[in-house]
Chains A and B, each alone.
Chain A
């Protein structure tokens, strides 16, 4: 029983990280109807920026904030410079650009920082919290994730800019007619997604260690989370993230073993696509023919 509880709580912690990354995917999907395959590598690159800052002697939380800011700017730049020119290209073309971005970020990081695995510090103390069920880092990661999600919710729900971003994602034509600069809203969306991804990267790096391929598996779980929740539902993505985190941990520990854990994500993806393509919280799209 103790072991199960432990696994569930650990699952919630990694689940929060999947939830953040899934939310970043959903944010870009809602605005562009495209899945950004480079989201994981963008987060990984951000984490390396944080690592450089911390190694240069910048205090952790300052480095954290700087990294979020730099990632936001980089996200905006990627949209403006790389994505914007292919805005009206066929889907397959854009997907190719995403994959190219993934490969380029991965290689450039490897080239700058080498592929040697590095440890990444946690801002939270060592030892055990919550009566030995969770490490302080796991608990802290959940807290940080929830804080980010709450901030995003408040931003999208209660600020004029958040409203304009939602409007631009839904109906670009009408948005222009009320004076919204739709192109910039998309760029802001990329910036926010990159910033959220950066937080996810910094929270997961102390657990999986830092290397250019660290996000491969995590992105797969994030895809599973986004699909379980419904790729067009931010709330679904968050719940999906926590569900996938717990499932992965519990199944990995007690049923299929840690080596086969990643296949949980694949089974979830295929299962959802087969039996409930719009996810558990997504909208079912009906088209008249």
Chain B
């Protein structure tokens, strides 16, 4: 069964239409990448899934229609969004940021265990535990954003440019961790990335978006071999 199914999704900021009827679906436990140039509507698609922009169309998550729900109610169904710009609570400590990620959960023992688990993935965050999050480096804040999303114990993670501002070595490490989380814990992921090569390596499936429409989709293998994708997004 599809975890997420989207039909005819339109989205707009005020008068400006950004998405013009997008369709896609993703399977439980899969990683799907959204590729496309700047301004194509990738970030807007993720925002639309969480009701952060005005939308029209049908969004079905885990068998339920969610397009008319408020952001916080969609989150409570198990959708964790790692937003564009990281969304750090700058004046709170690293640990408080992480605990906020688990705000909707009532199983305190499991939350404590999950805190240890994300510290296991990102030992740097353990060192910075009591530090004000606004003083963390960009890379550390990116790890914090991913960790905060994990603390929700999500079914689906929406990752908006998780590699943004990270050194290449860190990007590789982060993608390795994302793969581990997906494989070990079965968390589904929808990934928006500028770095198409890395995104296609990680994802099973990908959609190519141009000016608010899906122009191509298929398995990562197929897309990697597609000539126009290769020339425009992979650069060889």
Contacts and interface: CB of A to CB of B under 8 A. Distances in A.
A155 to B, nearest CB: 15
Contacts of B103: 160, 163-164, 178-180
Contacts of A166: 91-92
B100 A164 contact: yes
A164 B101 CA distance: 10
B140 to A, nearest CB: 16
Contacts of A178: 75, 100-101, 103-104, 148, 152
Interface string B59-88: 000000000001110011000110100011
B88 A174 contact: yes
A170 B72 contact: no
A180 B96 CA distance: 14
B233 interface: no
A171 B104 CA distance: 17
Given A177-B81, A178-B103, A180-B103, A170 B89 contact: yes
User: Could you tell me the dominant secondary structure of chain A's interface residues?
Assistant: helix
A175 B148 CA distance: 11
A234 to B, nearest CB: 12
B50 interface: yes
Interface of B: 50, 52, 70-72, 75-76, 80-81, 83, 87-92, 96, 99-101, 103-104, 148, 152
A30 to B, nearest CB: 10
A134 interface: no
Contact of B91 (A170, A173, A177, A182): A170
A170 B133 CA distance: 13
A33 interface: no
Contact of B83 (A163, A174, A179, A181): A174
Nearest to A173: B87
Q: What 10 A-B pairs have minimum CB-CB distances, sorted nearest first?
A: A174-B87, A179-B104, A179-B75, A176-B71, A177-B81, A179-B72, A178-B100, A176-B72, A179-B76, A178-B103
A109 to B, nearest CB: 37
Interface in A117-175: 160, 163-164, 166-167, 170-171, 173-175
A177 B50 contact: yes
A90 to B, nearest CB: 17
B77 to A, nearest CB: 10
6 contacts: A163-B100, A173-B52, A177-B50, A179-B75, A180-B72, A181-B72
A25 B88 CA distance: 26
Nearest to A166: B92
A160 B89 contact: no
A261 to B, nearest CB: 37
Contacts of B152: 178-179
A177 B90 contact: no
A160 B81 contact: no
Given A166-B92, A177-B50, A178-B100, A171 B72 contact: no
A176 B99 contact: no
A157 to B, nearest CB: 10
